[in-house]
Structure 1
């Protein structure tokens, strides 16, 4: 029915918004203060195939209808030609609220006639019913149709066009697997519908999946559906939808499908003109959302920056935004500190450069915790959350091994975020292992970690991989026996710990300078450990008679021990146990004996029980030096009256008590190992007896599983068995051992190791190789210069009997002078005379005679221009060459 038989005038210029089919389009005007008006125009006099339609939801009788042949190709022809372009049109007539007319590409009717283009390509048919011969436009359409039929184009081609019908897939059977299978690679797509600014309907090519995609990391204002079916837009919802429609609707794009939580597909839409996600944020049409930010693959910091820009400009949804006031001056927000203790997975104690201790809490993460934790704590006074709460111990251990004793750069705001360096954020690693979760903040809360998005991404990985707290497997249980103060249990453990020799441990707590709580990982127990051989100042404590005042320097001793060993991995030698069930022994950390270190720093005295230990001489020498200098606990020490020691005046200058030793090994650092000649026969006898027993009952090859710190026997290159200690286990084929009676080291296979027979343990005969280093000389740090010195010493004294005298103690071993067995010449002094080393000047009064002799020899070498003195005066650049300090 023609309501208006005459052609109307040309309509104002419009922009094509959407192609509904091959013969229907939607045009829109220019936006003025909001989304512009839209009109649907149907092309008159032609008909194109109908596109596929999905069955109506909730209507069982409704069914999916497929494409008609060439329908999608007609739609695509118009989409690619017209979308986003300016068109003009004329309305010829209206029928049932539909407008029919002619559409032209361009600014006026002289442009390309779209209906004619469709017909000429064989993508539409002409409506010949009601044909009027006096209508030139209808006549031209009929001529074009006849030409396309003759050319067999489109609809008129052979075969009927069945190959042009799409197989559209409206649902995905397993969307999560589908998204994962794409490996976050960009796939081509056409945006078919925009629900709101951040949710679109996309046709994935080439397989024709029609999916709903929500933009990762953002959320736009939405349209709320009321009970009566009407939609109420939130503020700026319509503007946000128009912003996305005008840029993406029916455009060719690429989509990165990033995740599929709860059947919702999250993705990022990439267009040649930009990333719509960032544009929405920058223009104030969207806000960042944490829950989906974790999967955004294009750089979450870009989204945060775009949102921040919109907030600063207070545009659209941020028009009422008020920025939070900073509570810290920017220049004071970063500092470098040393990690002294990891309290928990979200807190640690650090030491500032000023010496101040500070507890910092890690921002935006929550450590593992147990429901009803406080309730359980009230019921059980021995509650140990570190071991009882799943994954709390693993979280603490992860941070402890990575951070303890390390310097970290800490950024402080309302919370603190430590990181080891600029590229490795341990918090992300902690969260990605499922050992902590990320705190969720209110939408308007900006007080979060500067690496919050990295944490969210790490948590997403942990959830996806089922790590730690997100695992569906059975949680780990740590059955730790706390035998502190349990005398009966301690008695059961004592023989085992004594036989083990050096055992691995972690210092969990420091009660005082010499009293510690240790965690024994191999034995899975907690013990109280007292340092042997020393008498340390006692801290204040409650006694039956009241509070006992702390002894002088007790706090300094405790602080010294804390800084050296708290939460460090150490080795302990258990010797005995006291009446209260506390173990007594020696603690070593990186070659340092803690008892010796306390005495050297004048924070402890030597106890008479040390006389039977191998460390007695070292302890006495260290104590003597501190006593002479009147340091700390020796500050008020008074020497005996002069008249009582007149007859000892010569001895007071220097004790020369040379003993015969046999030098067995010399290291690259110019330390050497020597055996006491007096016990040499005992060692030989023990070796003969042990080898005879082994020959009679050979150990089963491969039956021994070495552990670090174990004493064992090892087969050397000469095919003989020797006593050894395991220092490191890389693999069964690479076990680092130290031959305790000779001082040399070797990497062997575990098949060359066996348990040490009890009759030949260190309790039967102590370790025979003792470590020493030369007194009064500086060892060059330059490798070549040091190698020359080592070669000279090896040539002179290795595998020979010499005379040795302890001069003073050192951090790791005694410093000694050593003489040739026949000529009694000082080996170290000879090195100085040859110009191979420099003199280490000591300030102790009783050593000044020796120091003077060494300095005179150094001057002689300098005058003769020997080796390092070949330039005459020893200049600063020479010091650099030979590795000496200036």
Structure 2
């Protein structure tokens, strides 16, 4: 009968089973006829003091190992010669599909690892006679049991317990240990023999949990769904196999580890096939990458296999466009919530998945008793968390991946606590950075702990836990043992007397900086002034926006036309942004002074000309023709196609002419072919400043370069002349430039340019924001370039997108990322004026004005 051997009980007994059909197949124990191998060690039965541990008999373990390596995982054939009344079966086992294969009993006797039962030998039994002959030959050769010394050295020092398992695990430093899997309890718990010291330990797989067999009060076991299949899955792959185990942790005397087999990682396979689920409490110690386990579990969920057959994803009801999208951040609501603007123009509130913002100590327990609103500044680290998000996100585009939708809760469900509306919880990233993870790593938020079966969590939950562990270890923010930061902020936005007292102080301060905390209407705002640590309400001078609806003593006042549009317009431009500089002009003043009116005439006229909003019905009065001054020199607009290859931190960029692109490709192909035919000798090149060379980039390819600085052989500064990027390399990654590919054959293809009419921000953060925007928009893309004027370092140019013909620099001004560099040349005034108007629209100018004041708490800013 052809079958598979799954375990070896001793040197003369094996467990076999057939192929699975609809479930784990039945098992049979076959004892080898006519031979006997030594008995293996046995542990005393716990709870029975009259039993004792028994050691191995000499050569017993070696016989077991010989048989194990012969048959485990192999197809075998067996014959049953005798069956006892107790059901024990005796027979012969052969390797292969039939009895023509190797006779296992004969092999054991030949190696001196088993003795022949000679009692009751029948003369007509050729199998017994052959075994006796083989035993005589083993005796003559002094093999195994018949060797000199009695075999005392073959008895294992088997250790059933470890005195201090935590220290034992720590001493291994998470290095792989050779082992044999002796028993499989369920899909994720095994008994392993650690080699070469013969520790017999129970190991639970880190990061996962399989369906198990629940032990009832009467001692019986009730299998959970798929528990038998999970056990069979692990058993058929690992039982009595040679493996390596990484012992990773030992909490509460339970050893957690990962079992590595040449054919794969059983932990990941169990998850992928739907036999296990991830568990948070042990996921943190998994050394092979928790993201692999999450990906394997996600694969099983998507295929709805086994334990996930009834699984419904938290975002199953959402379309793909609603699950992942790019949006612009308009407002930071809290340390865990933002308002974004979708491409459709709709505003949507997004909550960061699986994080909890800072809160007062004991707030969770007493939240039903103390329902008072607490300002942002009163909660430790809440202001720091909000500021981190504000500086990082406001006005920028982010990638949003919706993880789950938290259903609305009623007051009854929350035990009297105010109800929460439905929440869209998502992972928000910008520039590849997970905002929630960054917030937690700085100790400005904590991770929410879930029930094991709660699937409504961040898709990057393990990264959040790891970030929190780092923050705790380093004592960051909420986890710091230092005194919490205290912010004493004077709110004078609603008190006339306080406002009048503060006015002289604010006027003396001159130019100040502030953050727009709230937008009441298109021209009425609330500012937080960090230097003065106060909150003020102020109005924009020289303009008047439509009033919104509001409660009045006589009833609700109807909103004026375009009031909502004006409010949203102002919000989009300045809400939670830093505004600077400005002057406090007055308190309780209807700001209609001549200066401010004159300042806004050009903008009013611009709005009338395009008939926007309030001016939709405006009729232009006839004007006399104005003579146009003839310019001595006309601006030349001769755009050519370029390919942008590099953006510098100073907002310069490098580009290649598209026209010569084929020449560069041909040169690179020929150069690399020659290098492949005759590879340079490593270390033979001595770099000197100014020399041209070839350098091996991170992609393994060679490129033309110039040496800019030599600090040491291990630190050579190179500049890639065809692409514009720079790198520090070891001299072993440099070689001489072949003469056939020198700059005489083809000049350097990367040319440095700067944006015309643009002031590079002096502030590091502002400059970084501008650079990030340019990198996202034009790096490694084809654009149109026109040289406007020369500069000290490089030409200053205007750059257009190849498809839309929109000006890149103008877009930066509109986004409020840069200021305009005013040029005096007459032929450039048209471009300067156009860019200057956009500069004004972006509210990056130095004047902000109020429209009206209703009480003394509102300030006029110029």
Q: Name the TM-score class by shorter chain.
A: 0.5 to 0.7
For 1:400, what is the secondary structure of its paired residue? helix
- Matches of 1:224 and 1:277, distance apart in 2: 21
- Provide, for residues 316-356 of structure 1, a one-character-per-residue CA deviation record: whole Å limited to 9, x for no partner: 55666788994334455444321011212432111223433
Q: How does 1:420-499 map to 2 (within 5 A)?
A: 420=429, 423-430=432-439, 435-438=445-448, 440=450, 443=453, 448=456, 452-460=458-466, 462-463=468-469, 466=472, 474=481, 477-485=484-492
- Provide, for residues 20-47 of structure 1, a one-character-per-residue CA deviation record: whole Å limited to 9, x for no partner: 1223222224445443332333335544
Match of 2:292 among 274, 299, 310: 299
Contact 1:438 1:456 in 2 (8 A): no
- Label 1:51 to 1:432 Cα distance change in 2 as closer, same or farther (>3 A): farther
For 1:123, what is the secondary structure of its paired residue? coil
- Matches of 1:289 and 1:427, distance apart in 2: 21
- Matches of 1:134 and 1:203, distance apart in 2: 44
Match of 2:538 among 514, 520, 530: 530
Contact 1:438 1:455 in 2 (8 A): no
For 2:219, what is the secondary structure of its paired residue? coil
Tell whether 2:260 aligns with 1:253: no
1:398 to partner: Cα distance: 3.8
- Matches of 1:471 and 1:788, distance apart in 2: 47
Match of 1:73 among 62, 87, 90: 62
- Matches of 2:431 and 2:61, distance apart in 1: 53
Residue 601 of structure 1 corresponds to none
**Which protein has the larger Cα radius of gyration, Structure 1 or Structure 2?**
1
1:293 to partner: Cα distance: 5.9
For 1:112, what is the secondary structure of its paired residue? coil
Residue 331 of structure 2 corresponds to 341
- Matches of 1:537 and 1:106, distance apart in 2: 91
Match of 1:785 among 760, 768, 790: 790
Q: How does 1:690-769 map to 2 (within 5 A)?
A: none
Q: CA RMSD in A?
A: 5.3
- Label 1:354 to 1:135 Cα distance change in 2 as closer, same or farther (>3 A): closer
Contact 2:381 2:485 in 1 (8 A): no
- Label 1:188 to 1:636 Cα distance change in 2 as closer, same or farther (>3 A): closer
- Label 1:784 to 1:418 Cα distance change in 2 as closer, same or farther (>3 A): farther
Residue 728 of structure 2 corresponds to none
Contact 1:341 1:350 in 2 (8 A): yes
- Label 1:180 to 1:562 Cα distance change in 2 as closer, same or farther (>3 A): farther
- Label 1:331 to 1:496 Cα distance change in 2 as closer, same or farther (>3 A): closer
Contact 2:471 2:479 in 1 (8 A): no
Between 1:328-337 and 1:78-87, the stretch displaced more is 328-337
- Label 1:156 to 1:638 Cα distance change in 2 as closer, same or farther (>3 A): closer
Residue 229 of structure 1 corresponds to 219
Tell whether 2:114 aligns with 1:105: no
Residue 11 of structure 2 corresponds to 22
1:248 to partner: Cα distance: 1.9
- Matches of 1:118 and 1:284, distance apart in 2: 41
1:426 to partner: Cα distance: 2.8
- Matches of 2:11 and 2:162, distance apart in 1: 28
Match of 1:565 among 570, 574, 578: 574
- Label 1:270 to 1:633 Cα distance change in 2 as closer, same or farther (>3 A): closer
Between 1:321-330 and 1:355-364, the stretch displaced more is 321-330
Tell whether 2:193 aligns with 1:203: yes
For 1:111, what is the secondary structure of its paired residue? coil
Match of 1:116 among 94, 100, 106: 106
Contact 2:290 2:462 in 1 (8 A): no
Match of 1:623 among 592, 600, 604: 600
1:230 to partner: Cα distance: 1.8
For structure 2, the 5+ residue unaligned runs are 406-423, 630-649, 652-758, 764-784, 797-815, 835-862
For structure 1, the 5+ residue unaligned runs are 1-11, 585-604, 655-667, 670-742, 748-779, 792-810, 818-826, 844-886
Contact 1:90 1:102 in 2 (8 A): yes
- Label 1:440 to 1:623 Cα distance change in 2 as closer, same or farther (>3 A): same
- Matches of 2:582 and 2:829, distance apart in 1: 37
- Matches of 2:788 and 2:170, distance apart in 1: 54
- Provide, for residues 33-71 of structure 1, a one-character-per-residue CA deviation record: whole Å limited to 9, x for no partner: 443332333335544344344454445676655544443
Residue 511 of structure 1 corresponds to 520
Contact 1:284 1:318 in 2 (8 A): yes
- Label 1:316 to 1:501 Cα distance change in 2 as closer, same or farther (>3 A): same
For 2:468, what is the secondary structure of its paired residue? helix
